[in-house]
Amino acid sequence: MPRGRYSLHDPHDRTPLGEEHFHCAPGPSGWRYVSQRASPSGTPAGSVDLAVDDHGRPIRLELHAGDWQVRAAALNGVTWVRTDPTGAHATEDNAPAHAFTGASPAFLIATARLLRLTPAAPATRIRLVAFTDPVLAPRTLDQSWALLKREAHATDNGPLTVDEYQVTALDTGEQHAVHITGDVVLAAPGMELEHLETPPSAFA
């Protein structure tokens, strides 16, 4: 069960946005990621609890940011309930999308797991619903993912396979690289792995 800490920052000017302390693990029905987020001052800033099935589909997502909360799952596309700070005006919505995304590294791992790309294969288009901080506002977006290369790196615990993805925002054409090993993101825009207590889990 990997445990560790990501640092979060603005991907454009690298302004620190805090940290995400996480643990994750594959299980008999898929994979689960749980984390607590902290602001740059160290105060609690929210949490992520994501579970996906063996195919990478989100079977449960619970997000907290400030007083806002989202509960979501893959249902008729994807469906979610977003609760306002007072709890008096919860709204339910649905979108014809494949999965969810957001500021947490959990979503990158889940998307890679869902797509199951092979090196040098054509890029694959995917529609996602993003929940953006600080109020978890939903936004539907389209991306394309391509697995550029897969390399094995020698470590004290044996070879570590690192996948390098190219992710393209189809509305702007902006491209960026995402590096993943197992169920841990090594680096991506806005996030870096700062500490890892145990080796990443390998998906079958």
What is this structure's pTM?
A: 0.94
Is 203 part of any domain? no
Find out whether 49 and 61 touch, Cβ atoms under 8 Å. Answer: yes
Is 60 part of any domain? yes
Is 204 part of any domain? no
Is 186 part of any domain? yes
Is 64 part of any domain? yes
Please count the structural domains in the chain: 1
Query: Using CB atoms within 10 A of its CB, is residue 12 exposed (0-12), middle (13-18) or buried (19+)?
Result: exposed
Is 184 part of any domain? yes
Residue range 154-193, pLDDT digits in tens: 777 677 899 999 999 999 999 999 999 999 999 999 999 9
Domain that holds residue 22: 3-198
- Paired sense of beta strands 99-101 and 44-53, if any: unpaired
Please give the full DSSP string across 79-99, using - where no structure is assigned: EEEEE-TTSS--EEEEES-SE
Average pLDDT along the chain: 93
- Paired sense of beta strands 99-101 and 124-132, if any: parallel
Is 73 part of any domain? yes
Amino acid at 199: P
